[in-house]
Amino acid sequence: MPRITTTDIRNKKAKKEKITMLTAYDYSMAAMVDEAGIDMILVGDSLGNVMLGYENTLPVTMEDMVHHTKAVSRASKNAMVVADMPFLSYHISREEAVRNAGRLIQEGGAQSVKLEGGIERVDTVKAILDAQIPVVGHIGLTPQSVIQLGGFKVQGKDVETANRLIKDAKAIEEAGAFCIVMECVPTPLAKKISEEISVPTIGIGGGPYCDGQVLVINDMLGMFKGHIPKFVKKFANLEPIIMEALKAYKEEVEAGTFPAEEHGFSMKEEVLEKLY
Ligand code: KIV
């Protein structure tokens, strides 16, 4: 199967087929996500929370993103790899934004980049596209703005902020993004935006009418101990299974029942005999 392209993603909306996206940050997980046939793997800067233990995504660096994007790219054969542009990697100048987006493609091996923001990011999106790098937009709750937003809150609940979100979506569409992530947006507003723009919307806390869905993989597999947002469905609950395995390992090592004979390697008797 050839790798999913931006055209495939756009066509899915036209054909009313839902688009699937999940995050992954390492080789083993990305290989499973790819094999499951998920359309896009997002190397999200949420790796700051789930991989690196930060409180939010602000400390994540370009080096962190390149490092994890490389691992995911090595594993993915069919899914499109989308790499997040971390905080401050695209805010200072358009030149820096293009160079950093280029690193995620050239060094990281991604096929596209994602950046947060609406109208204020139009010129940046255009500059990155000018370098022939496909861009995914991200509007609504944009975690890199957590300080300014005053927390992780649902966005667009009143007339003014809802209208602002509609304008943001249209501006990012017009700038040329091939799809737009909408995070924590009321379901009716996400539906209206999805109907009014031609590029696919990928919801996370945006309800069922978005053109696709994305979740953080550790949340949906039930293997993250931190705060789990309301919009997450746990498709598995791996944390207790992992804990059980870890405790069993500790018990068996301490009791001397692991490793057993079959886990060791043999050597010839005559070699043993010749040893001092
Ligand atoms: O970093 C991330 O995982 C994201 C998703 C929340 C869309 O941006």
pLDDT tens digits for 32-88?
A: 999 999 999 999 999 999 999 999 999 999 999 999 999 999 999 999 999 999 999
Ligand 1 geometric centre to CA of 11 (Å): 23
Atom 3 of ligand 1: nearest residue by CA position:
44
Q: From the candidates 95, 183, 196, 270, which is the catalytic residue?
A: 183
Q: Looking at the domain that runs over 6-237, which CATH code has it been given?
A: 3.20.20.60
pLDDT at 225: 79
Q: Which atom, in ligand 1's list, is nearest to the CA of 23?
A: 3
> Is 95 among the residues known to form the active site?
no
Check pocket membership of 84 for ligand 1, CB cut-off 6 A: yes
Which protein residue has the closest C-alpha to ligand 1 atom 1?
Answer: 44
pLDDT in tens, the chain (276 residues): 899 999 999 999 999 999 999 999 999 999 999 999 999 999 999 999 999 999 999 999 999 999 999 999 999 999 999 999 999 999 999 999 999 999 999 999 999 999 999 999 999 999 999 999 999 999 999 999 999 999 999 999 999 999 999 999 999 999 999 999 999 999 999 999 999 999 999 999 999 999 999 999 999 999 977 788 999 999 999 999 999 999 999 999 999 999 999 999 999 999 999 998
Q: Could you tell me how far CA 5 lies from the centroid of its own chain?
A: 17
CB of residue 214 inside a 6 A radius of ligand 1: yes
Per-domain residue ranges for the chain? 6-237, 240-273
Cα of 45 vs centre of ligand 1, distance in Å, is 6
